[in-house]
Amino acid sequence: MRAPRREGWYPAASSKLLGCTSGDSGAGQGRKSYSPVKRRRKARRLSVAYEASEGEEGAGAERLQTPSWQPQDWRRQLDNIRTMRSGKDAPVDQLGAEHCFDPSASPKVQRYQVLLSLMLSSQTKDQVTAGAMQRLRARGLTVDSILQTDDSTLGTLIYPVGFWRSKVKYIKQTTAILQQRYGGDIPASVAELVALPGVGPKMAHLAMAVAWGTVSGIAVDTHVHRIANRLRWTKEATRSPEETRRALEEWLPRCAHPQDGVERAPSGGLPPSLHTDDSHPHRELWREINGLLVGFGQQTCLPVRPRCQACLNRALCPAARGL
């Protein structure tokens, strides 16, 4: 059962939702507790929504988003995570999809390599994905080379990524589709990407961001899913990364605004380089959130026994406080 929606305070999630504690994945496998301590999730306070003023709604102005609900303290929690992640020394910072393709290859080949690294990365540590990509790239990683590689050899090259046997099949099927329908390139829409065998929503949104420079949505994996629930960044407890993505996109502003600290919808006039620069005040929050929380989940907010004593959010974190 899910906690019912209510205005103002709303009640504890059901005990079923808070039942167990270990493990990371959780998507579609029954509710796990994301609390570092086994305490019931009692109540969450709603924050006050903000609205655009008349001037802000005027011609040429960016329109403020007006979510009906935002998590309490999310800005301070986010700033604390940015501070903790400022060293950029988590595995995802060196080995994520942005670092696994050959920068000297043609743009089309780079995009294919990005998609392939994302397909390999599900249920797999970044180090293992990077090793598989290195072995594939050493042979020349293109649509043609993969189609010419027999399944047994491909399996040997990508082993030990998670579900490597299934991934051999999906990579071959997807690569054949890319050659037949897209001229060897990858499609440039989430709808077309998720229609490819072995490509899920998280991979599609990351592929759009990394390969095409387009922020199409928040990429939510098990780290983002777990941390969003621990920090109560979803109005209700969510059961899957996809559910978490929808819940986050309901209130998290797409883009930071430099003048007043208020986040607004992007005007569309910024160069992509600014959108993707984490140090720029106009950075895209929807893009930033994945790498930020994945690294935070790898280093501090671990799936099991999170390092709350070392976390700047320990006083602001409902899960750590047993709420």
**Which residues in the 18-37 window bind ligand SF4 by CB under 6 A?**
36
Q: Is 100 in the site for ligand SF4 (CB under 6 A)?
A: no
**DSSP-assigned states of every residue in 234-254:** SSS--SSHHHHHHHHHHHS-S
Closest to ligand SF4 by CB, 118 or 308: 308
Active site residues: 202
Considering the complex, state which of residue 118 and residue 311 has its C-beta at the smaller distance from ligand SF4.
Answer: 311
Q: Which stretch binds ligand SF4 (CB under 6 A): 3-11, 21-29, 193-201, 311-319?
A: 311-319
3-state DSSP percent of the chain in helix, strand and coil, to 5: 45, 5, 50
300 binds ligand SF4 (CB under 6 A): yes
Half-sphere exposure of residue 190, counting CA atoms within 13 Å on the CB side?
A: 15
Return the range that interacts with ligand SF4 (CB under 6 A); candidates 51-59, 130-138, 261-269, 314-322. Answer: 314-322
Q: Which of 17, 319, 322, 323 binds ligand SF4 (CB under 6 A)?
A: 319
DSSP-assigned beta bridge partners for residue 46 = 71
Nearer to ligand SF4, 97 or 228 (CB): 228
Task: Find the binder of ligand SF4 among 32, 202, 230, 239 (CB under 6 A).
Answer: 230
Q: Which of left, alpha, beta for 162 (phi over 0: left; psi -120 to 50: alpha)?
A: beta
- Comparing CB distances to ligand SF4, the nearer of 195 and 315 is 315
Q: Which of 113, 155, 107, 153 has the alpha carbon at shortest distance from 133?
A: 113
Give the integer Cα–Cα distance in Å for 132 and 19.
36
As a whole number of angstroms, the distance between CA 91 and CA 2 comes to 34
Least distance to ligand SF4, CB of residue 141, Å: 36
CA distance 278 to 172: 35
Find the shortest distance in angstroms from Cβ 137 to ligand SF4: 35
Q: List the x/- string, 246-285, binding to ligand SF4 by CB under 6 A.
A: ----------------------------------------
154 binds ligand SF4 (CB under 6 A): no
165, with CB counted inside 10 A (0-12, 13-18, 19+), is exposed
Verify binding: residue 39, ligand SF4, rule CB under 6 A. no
- Closest to 119 in 3D by CA, of 52, 173, 81: 173
Q: Is 222 in the site for ligand SF4 (CB under 6 A)?
A: no
Cβ density class 210-226: b for 16+ within 10 Å, e for less: bbbebbbbbbbbbbbbb
If the CB atoms of residues 82 and 314 are measured against ligand SF4, the closer one turns out to be: 314
65 versus 244: smaller Cβ distance to ligand SF4: 244
- Residues pairing with 10 in the sheet: 44
Closest approach of ligand SF4 to the CB of residue 244, in Å = 15
Q: Binding residues for ligand SF4, per CB under 6 A?
A: 36, 230-231, 300-301, 306-308, 311, 313-314, 317, 319-320
